[in-house]
Structure 1
Amino acid sequence: MKPPAAPDTGAPAVFVCLQVLKKRADFVACSKARRYATHGIHLQARKRRDGEADGIRVGYTCSKKVGNAVARNRAKRRLREVARRVLPKHGHDGWDYVLVGRKDITATLSFDQLQTDLIRALAKIHS
């Protein structure tokens, strides 16, 4: 007996064009550039200089204000999934993005609302 096929969500199965920011200097550079806050997500973004890196790079952060380790990890998992679905379509090549979780909101807000918030923030950053 075959297992049922997974439903097609239309999202890529792997991080095709997203690279994860890991160096503190990249996070600091984003924090000094453009930013936009929505109800569920605080977005920081910067356009990289030519030759610095290729593709879309994204970082995730949640401070201890978000809650204990369980709450922070849940918020970051949700941010990663939202970025995986939204950034390939709405992000721009050659940009770094940092998604910052918000206290009591990122982990509990509906997933559709998180997606809408990120799309709105990206449109505002790029305008």
Structure 2
Amino acid sequence: MTTDAPPSGKTPSGAFSVLSQRADFLRAARARRVPMPAFLLQARKRAVDEPAQTAIRVGYTCSKKVGNAVARNRAKRRLREIARAVVPLEGQPGWDYVLIGRAGETATRDFAALKDDLARALRKAHR
């Protein structure tokens, strides 16, 4: 039987968990906000008593303002993909990030620009 974990015991560089509990989204909503043209980033450092202090956690949301279900799902797919590419490099362990899609922008903005925006937003959040 093989495992995907590297021999050092560390998690792979692309590994982060996904937020699914409503309470985690509500806590992130009260934290730092970094607006970008195609999305809003909410970032918060987890408290010491919260579980998974070393993991990076990311959540995605798009309201009905973004459009119908097809448009919302497309926007969330793009947010997931930029998070997969950027968060392991720019994110910090012990932090929760929520990416909120914007109407008309998240689904249409150039993908390279989206990735650059996320990298810039994460740097701003950690200042």
When normalised by structure 1's length, the TM-score is 0.86
Question: How many residues were matched structurally?
Answer: 114
Where does 1:7-86 land on structure 2 (aligned, <5 Å)? 16-52=14-50, 53=52, 54-86=54-86
Task: Please report how far the alpha carbon of residue 17 of structure 1 lies from its aligned counterpart in structure 2 after TM superposition.
Answer: 2.3
- Give the match's secondary structure for 1:99: strand
- Give the match's secondary structure for 2:37: coil
What is the match of residue 5 of structure 2? none
Counterpart of 2:19 in structure 1: which amino acid? L
d(CA) in 2 for partners of 1:65 and 1:124? 26
Q: Percent identity?
A: 60
Misfit runs of 4+, over 2 Å: 14-17
Task: Please report how far the alpha carbon of residue 41 of structure 1 lies from its aligned counterpart in structure 2 after TM superposition.
Answer: 1.5
d(CA) in 1 for partners of 2:31 and 2:78? 24
Task: Please report how far the alpha carbon of residue 92 of structure 1 lies from its aligned counterpart in structure 2 after TM superposition.
Answer: 0.3
State the Cα deviation string for residues 54-95 of structure 1 (Å, max 9, x = none): 310000000000000000000000000000000000000000
Structure 2 unaligned regions, length at least 5: 1-11
What is the match of residue 9 of structure 1? none
Confirm or deny: 8 A CA contact 2:78 2:107 kept in the other structure. yes
Confirm or deny: 8 A CA contact 2:38 2:109 kept in the other structure. yes
Question: CA, structure 1 residues 117+16, in 2 after alignment: closer, same or farther (shift >3 Å)?
Answer: closer
Counterpart of 2:79 in structure 1: which amino acid? L
Structure 1 unaligned regions, length at least 5: 1-13
When normalised by structure 2's length, the TM-score is 0.86
d(CA) in 1 for partners of 2:33 and 2:88? 19
